[in-house]
Structure 1
Amino acid sequence: MYHIVLLCYDGSPDGREVLCEGAEIAKRFGATTHLLAIAPIIAGNEALPASQESLDTNFSDFEKVLQEGVASLRAAGVEATGHIAEGRPIEVIADHARRLGVDLIVLGHRHQSRLARWWRGSVGSSMVDLAPCSILVAVDRHGPKPGSKAR
C-alpha cells in the first residue's frame, strides 16, 4: 500500500509523534523512508539584511534536527534518507513528495488558536490541495489538549 513515505520533522514534540507513527508505517509496509527537515527562510530587509552568519546558523540548527530524526528512526529499526530544504513548508513538502514519488506524507499537528490558524493558516489543510499523495496527520494523543497552557 505505502512503498515510499515522507516524514516531515522539525524537532518539536509534535515532530516526534511523526517519527513514532512514521516508523510504525515504514516497518509495517516495508516502505522506503525519507525524513525532511525544513529551515524557514530568514529574510532580512533593506535596513537590516539577513547576515550570512545567521543564515548558516539557521541551516546548521536544522541539520542537527535532521540528524537527530534519522538517528531516532534508526533506533526504531527504520533506515531513512535525510533531506534538508529551505522555504515555505507547504511548497517544499509537496515538491519533495513529487520528486521522490511518495505514496504517503506524514505531518505533525500543532494546536493553534483560531486567530493563529486564520492568520498563518494550517500546513495540514493547505497540503491537501498541493499534495500528490495521501497525508497522515500524526497527533500526540498523550500530550496537552487544545486550550491547555502546558505547551
Structure 2
Amino acid sequence: MYTKILLCYDGSREGRLALREGARLAQITGARVILLAVVETGAGNALAQGADVGALAIQQADFGGILDEGHQRLSAMGLAPEVRMEFGDPVAKIASVATETGADLVVVGHHRQGLWTRWMSRSVAAGLADALGCSLLLAQKVVEDSDLFRDG
C-alpha cells in the first residue's frame, strides 16, 4: 500500500505519537522511511527569537538532537530511516521533500489549537492538505510497545 513514508518529527508529544504510528505503518507495509525535521526560518520566527543571530544555530542543534532521538527510536523498531533536516516554511519544505522523495504518505502529529489560534494562523495540517500530492495522516493514535516491538 505504501512504499515511502515521510515522518515529520519535532520531538513533541504529538510528534512522538506520529513517529510511532508512522513507524507501525512502515512495519506493516514494508515501506521505506524518511524522517524529517523542519527548522522554521520565517520572518515571524526571527522576530519571536529577537532576531538573535545565534538563535538559528541553537535551533539547528536542538533539531539535530531531536532527529538523533527519532533515528534511535525508529532503529529500535527495526527500521532504517533516511534522516533529513530542512530550513524554511514547514508546509513548503514538507511538500517539497515529499515530492522529491516520492513519498506516498506524509505523517504529522496533530497539535490541538484553540479557536483564537486557529483563526489567527492557518495550521500546518491544513496547508499540507492543499499542498501535497500524496496522502496525509494526522496521527493521534496511541501505538503500544507491544505492537511496535513484536516479531512479525
Tell me the TM-score normalized by structure 1: 0.86
The residue correspondences of 1:70-149 to structure 2 (distance < 5 A) are: 70-140=71-141
Out of 38, 43, 52, the position equivalent to 1:50 is: 52
Q: In the TM superposition, what whole-angstrom CA distance separates every residue of 1:4-28 from its partner, at most 9, and x where no partner exists? A: 0100000000000011101111111
* 4+ residue runs over 2 A deviation: 42-45
Q: In the TM superposition, what whole-angstrom CA distance separates every residue of 1:49-90 from its partner, at most 9, and x where no partner exists? A: 431x22211111101101100111111111111100111111
After TM superposition, give the deviation of residue 44 of structure 1 in Å: 5.2
CA distance in 2, matches of 1:19, 1:44: 30
The residue correspondences of 1:54-73 to structure 2 (distance < 5 A) are: 54-73=55-74
Task: Give unpaired runs (5+ residues) of structure 2.
Answer: 144-152
User: Which position in structure 1 is the counterpart of 2:29?
Assistant: 29
What is the root-mean-square deviation of aligned Cα atoms in Å? Answer: 1.7
The residue correspondences of 1:13-24 to structure 2 (distance < 5 A) are: 13-24=13-24
CA distance in 2, matches of 1:133, 1:88: 19
After TM superposition, give the deviation of residue 131 of structure 1 in Å: 0.4
Aligned length, in residue pairs: 139
Q: 1:16 to 1:126 in 2, by over 3 A?
A: same
Letter of the 2:65 partner, please give it.
K
CA distance in 2, matches of 1:81, 1:141: 24
Counterpart contact for 2:5–2:103, Cα < 8 Å: yes
Counterpart contact for 1:14–1:140, Cα < 8 Å: no
Task: Give unpaired runs (5+ residues) of structure 1.
Answer: 143-151
Counterpart contact for 2:9–2:35, Cα < 8 Å: yes
Letter of the 1:20 partner, please give it.
R
Where is the helix percentage greater, Structure 1 or Structure 2? 2
Tell me the TM-score normalized by structure 2: 0.85
| 3-state DSSP of counterpart to 1:43 | helix
